[in-house]
A and B are shown apart, each in its own frame.
Chain A
Amino acid sequence: MPREKILHKVRTALGRSSGQLPATPPPVRLRIPEVPLDARIESFTCALNKLNGKTCVAHSPQEALDYAAQLCEGKRVVASNSPVLRECGITGLPNVRSNYTDAEKLREACAAADVGITSADYALGDTGSLVMIASPREARLISLLPPVHLAIVPRSRILTGLDELFTLLPNPAEQTSSMVLITGPSRTADIEQILVRGVHGPREIHVVVL
C-alpha cells in the first residue's frame, strides 16, 4: 500500500512515530480592526470599483430591483434561490428564471444565460470580495457561466476582511463543500501581460449593497 509506505517514509524523515501528537502550533493570527458600517461599505465599493466592478448602494429593495431590472432588460437571466432576491422582487421579473434544484437543468440555463443573479453570504470591505457559500440557496455556476454577474448583498454582511471572515467561520468545511471568494471580474494577463477581462468567468460584475 502506497499510503502506509509514504506515511512511514514521512515519519522516518521527521523522526516521529505513528500516532505521535504534534508540537504546539504557533498561535492563530487573526486581527479584526474596528471599522464602522459606513466605512466598510465605502471601502468595499471603492475596492471593487478599482477592479472595474460596478457598485450601487441601494436604500430600499425597490432601488435594488430597479438596478436589476435595468441591467437585465432584454436579456436571458438566471437567478439563485436566495430569499434576498425574492424579497426584492427580482425573481418576479419576467425574463428571470429561478428555482433550479436540478444540476443538469441549471447548467443548461446558466450556459445560455446573459446574466446570473445571486446574493452573497458575506462581502469583504478591504478587498472588495464577495464570499459565495454553496448551499440549496446558492448554486456555483450562476456566478460563473453567464458573462455578467449581479450580486445583491445586505449591508450587514459586509465584513472588514479575511481575518473577520475566518473568525466567523473558523472551519468553512463544516457548513459547505465550496466557499469561493470573488474579487472583481474574471481576468487574465497571460499574453504580453495585457489585461483582458472575462476570459472564463464573467467579464462584468455588479454589486448592489442593500
Chain B
Amino acid sequence: MSRTATTEPPKFRQTLEDANLQLAVYTATGRLMEKRREAVAADVLPEYQELRTQAHEIKKHTLDNLDYYLELFEERVKAHGGKVVYCKDGSEVADFVLRLAKERGARLIVKSKSMTTEEIDLNERLAHHQLESVETDLGEYILQLAHQRPYHIVAPALHLTRYDVANIFTEKLGVENETVIEKQTMIARGVLRQKFLQADIGISGANFLVADSGAVVIVENEGNARLTTSAPRIHIAVAGMEKMIARAQDLPVFLKLLGRSATGQPLTVYTSFLSGPRREGEVDGPEEFYVVLLDNGRTRLLADREKRQSLYCIRCGACLNHCPVYRKVGGHNYPWVYSGPIGAVITPQYMGVGKDPWLPFASSLCGACYEVCPVKINIPKLLLDLRSEVTKLKAKERAGWAERTAFRLWAWVMRHPRIYELMGSMTAAFFPEGETPGWLRSVPPFMNIGPLKKWLSQRDLPRPASKSFRQHWRSRRKGVR
C-alpha cells in the first residue's frame, strides 16, 4: 500500500525563525478565525450549535452503516448512467485513470482541488506515465508549478507572498515579473482557460457523496471545479468513502456549516450537486461520469469505535486556524498532507502510531479545535487516546529491549558451562537454609529491582536446591564407576 509521507524531516526552528512566514501564517489564520466568528455568531446563526449536533449525528449514522450507504450510492449512480469504482489505494486509482485515458485516447487532464488526490499523489503517478494533469485551483496551480504540497487544507498557498508567486510564474511560465495580485490571477486564468477547453478528462474531489441521490457535491469559490466537471467529455470524482451522507435533505445542515467554518461565507460561490453524465436533452456536461471510492486505510479507522469519529471531518480547516501549534509551526512541518489538529489525529491512524510518535504530543490540548469543529469531532480526546497508544507502544519496545538483552546474556552463559555452574553455586550461596522450607519470601535487595521486583511482588521463589543437577550427575557417575 502506498501512503506516501513527506521525506523531509520537520524544520521547526527554521519555521519559527522565519519572521515573514510567521507573520503570513498568523495573519491569514487570524483573519479566517475572525470571519468564522462573525459568521456563526448567535445573532446571525442562532441554530449554530444545533446544526453541529445534527451534523455529528448524521455523520455518525452514515458511517455506522456505511456498507449500506455505499451500496445505495452505487445503485443510484448506476441508475443515472454513471459508474462507481472501488479502489484500495493510490496505485489502483492511478491504474484506473491511466487505463481509461488510454482507452479514450485522452491526453490532458484538468483537476480541481482535492485533498484525497493529494493524499495519494495522483498527479505524480500520472505524470510518471506521461499523462499531464493540471491543477486549476489558483493556489494549487501555484503549488504544482513550485512542486510544493498544500500548506493548509482550505488555503493551500497561504505561506506564499505575491513576490514568491511572481518568481514562480516568471520561472515556470516565462512571463514577465508581475507582482500585482489581480494581474497574477489573470495570468493564471488565461493559461488555465485554454487547458479547460482542451482537456479530455476532468478530475474533481468531492465534499460530500449523497447516498440517496448518487450525487457528488463540490463546493468552491473560483469556478474551476465547475469547469472541471462541465467542460471535459469525462468527469471522474475521486473521493474517500467517508465523504458519504445519507440523504440529499441532510445537505443544508452541512452546507450551512462548511462555508462558515472555513472562510466565514454563508455559502461558497459555487455548490455543485452532480449526479451522473449529461442526460437526454441536456445541452452540455460530461458524457461519462465515474466516482472513485477510495479506501487507502479508511476501513482500518472505521474499525475503532471511538476513533471512527475522525472520519466525520468535512475538511473546513477551522481547527488549523484556531490551533496555537499550527499557527506557529505551519503546515509543512506535519508529516503528511493533512496538517493541524485533524492531521495530528488522522495521520497516526493511517500511518501507524509508531511512524511519527511525537505527533499526538504536539498539542497544548487547549480544546479550541473541538470547540470550532462543525461536526464536533472530539480532537483533544482522540489525541489523548493516541498518546496513550504511543506510550504503550514505547513501553513494549523498551520491554522488548530488556528481554532481548536478558536472553542474549542467558545464551552466552549457557554456552560457557563453567561460568554457568559458578553462577548457580553463587545463587545458592545467597539463600542459606532456614526460613520457610521450600520457598523464598524475600530476595537480597540487589536482585529486587526492575521487572524482577514486579514479578516477585506477587510470587514466592522456589528455594534453589542444595546441590545442582551437574553436581548430582558428577557424583552419580563417580558412584557407578
Contact = CB atoms under 8 A, between A and B. Distances in A.
Given A13-B299, A25-B58, A201-B222, A179 B273 contact: yes
Contacts of B370: none
B302 to A, nearest CB: 4
B138 A173 contact: no
Given A162-B252, A173-B215, A193 B88 contact: no
Interface string B270-295: 11111111110111110001000101
Interface residues of A, number: 80
B439 interface: no
A182 B269 contact: yes
Contacts of B182: 196
B274 A177 contact: yes
B279 A177 contact: yes
Nearest to B160: A191
B397 interface: no
A156 interface: no
B226 interface: yes
Contacts of B274: 177-178
A6 B61 contact: no
Contacts of A187: 221-222, 269
A26 B418 CA distance: 75
A11 B76 contact: no
B266 A186 contact: no
B58 A201 contact: no
Contacts of A182: 269-270
Contacts of A7: 67, 70-71, 86
A185 B193 CA distance: 17
B255 interface: yes
Given A107-B284, A162-B255, A177-B80, A199 B249 contact: no
Nearest to A196: B185
7 smallest beta-carbon distances between A and B, as pairs:
A201-B223, A22-B65, A190-B139, A173-B275, A139-B283, A173-B213, A200-B223
29 contacts: A9-B299, A13-B303, A14-B64, A14-B65, A22-B69, A29-B253, A124-B267, A129-B271, A144-B227, A166-B252, A173-B76, A173-B210, A176-B282, A177-B274, A180-B226, A180-B270, A183-B268, A183-B271, A186-B222, A188-B185, A191-B160, A191-B161, A191-B165, A192-B162, A193-B28, A193-B31, A199-B185, A199-B188, A201-B223
Given A127-B266, A191-B142, A194-B181, 14 more contacts: A13-B303, A22-B246, A103-B278, A103-B283, A134-B279, A173-B213, A173-B275, A177-B285, A178-B272, A186-B269, A187-B269, A190-B155, A199-B138, A201-B223
